[in-house]
Structure 1
Amino acid sequence: MAYQPPSRTRFYRDKRNGKIMGICAGLADYTGFDVTLVRITMIAAVFLSSGSILPVYFIAGWVAPDRPRELEGTDTETREFWQSVRRSPTRTARDIRLRLKDIDRRLGDVESYVTTENRSLAREIEQLR
């Protein structure tokens, strides 16, 4: 069976940063919200639902896989990128496409500068010889 790398767009329990089962820490990592805010929201949901949300919490803790170690060393920029992919894949693809168009345009400018007849550039090259 071939090795399949962990998905960066999937929800994982974060037991290393979690308190009870790592569900709130996993939700915070998945959505990009502060973990304290997610925990406070969970406590409020427990009180507002008279505890009926607790079975959902424990089922999620039982069903959700642990966060793979390969995803531990990600920097802030990478983590924010994948959170934006999870929020809106279409917008993220559009942003990447725009960045690549800009890079292509700038590369074309450099190419045209180098390939067109440029007397000062030719003079500098001759001086280097």
Structure 2
Amino acid sequence: MSRRRGELYRDPKRGKVAGVCAGLSDYFNMELWLVRIIFISAVLLLGGPFFIVAYIACWFILEVKPETLPNQSKTETVNTEKPIEVKSKVWQAGEPPRRALHDLKEQFDRIDGRLQAMEKYVTSPEFTVSREINKL
């Protein structure tokens, strides 16, 4: 996932069928399960034959992910260990639903407070005077 965006490969080692979704997850730096869900949803909701044909085409067109990257020497191999990632999203961290709901409510309350303060300022005479001065 540390490659520059521009190299799209299939990754059959991580893939279920041909590694196309695994390659797309590396390319877009997304979780593999999320790419699979998006693909399956697209097949079911947007038109199955098109996406299935596109998947098969990618299967034949895309090259298999090389063991060494182009900028490495032949003796160096790619680190196959998965890097440790800190999950920062609520749905990734395994936070209990009640806590997640409480956190979201706090965020919405803060946003609502800021929105109310902006509304109060925009409807105040101070805003009108400031706008008239800026027009001069």
TM norm structure 1: 0.49
Which structure has more helix as a fraction of its residues? 1
Which structure's relative contact order is higher, taking Cα pairs within 8 Å and 6+ residues apart? 1
TM norm structure 2: 0.47
